[in-house]
Amino acid sequence: MVGRVGKPHGLDGSFVVEQASEDERWFAVGARLLVGADRAEVVAARRAGGRPVIRLDRQAPRGTALEVERAELPETGEDEYYAFELVGLEVVEEGGRVLGAVAAVEPGVANDVLALDSGIALPMVDDCVCSVDLAARRILVAPGFAEPD
């Protein structure tokens, strides 16, 4: 997700992009976005109060996610992942204890946090996350970051 349709801005169908990506290319005139299940094109773009304001070639209900195709995202480097790639991965502690599956990756003050479906929250820091295996759909974490059973 690169943002959400926010409150209207003006009378021409423009809106403020909420939860906007820092990557400005997604909000430039000509950019193609997925709006729900539909494709849309940005036909007007500006900034207001430091936030992107765009108009699409079609109407979009407030709150609708603005997304891009996976193929349009820049390649990640080694040991880099997009947050959406981690959602659903099983999280296992060294020693084999299954802690749950990633429900969300939440931004934190010092680091992002893996929010698991079991209610456990794990910091995304090197001391905690030992390895991420997207192919095996598994994250291995160090012991001591989750309460014992």
| Token output for 50 | 């430091």
Whether the pLDDT of residue 22 is over 70: the answer is yes
Whether the pLDDT of residue 104 is over 70: the answer is yes
Per residue in 49-101, pLDDT (tens digit) is 889 999 999 999 999 999 988 888 888 888 888 888 999 999 999 999 999 99
Contact 94, 142 (CB under 8 A): yes
Q: How many Cα neighbours within 13 Å face the side chain of 123?
A: 11
Q: What's residue 78's pLDDT? A: 83
Which range has highest mean pLDDT (32-36, 42-46, 105-109)?
42-46
Largest CA distance in the chain: 59
Contact 40, 59 (CB under 8 A): no
Q: Please list the residues that pair with 106 across neighbouring strands.
A: 113
Whether the pLDDT of residue 108 is over 90: the answer is no
Report the side by side order of strands in the sheet with 138-141.
121-123, 113-116, 98-106, 90-93, 138-141, 129-133
Output 72 or 16, whichever has higher pLDDT.
16
6-31 average pLDDT score: 92
Whether the pLDDT of residue 149 is over 70: the answer is no
| Least confidently predicted of 27-31, 35-39, 114-118, 133-137 | 35-39
Phi first, then psi: what are they for 70, rounded to 5°? Answer: -55, -40
| Token output for 94 | 């060294």
Judge residue 69's burial from the number of C-beta atoms within 10 Å of its C-beta, 0-12 exposed, 13-18 middle, 19 or more buried.
Answer: exposed
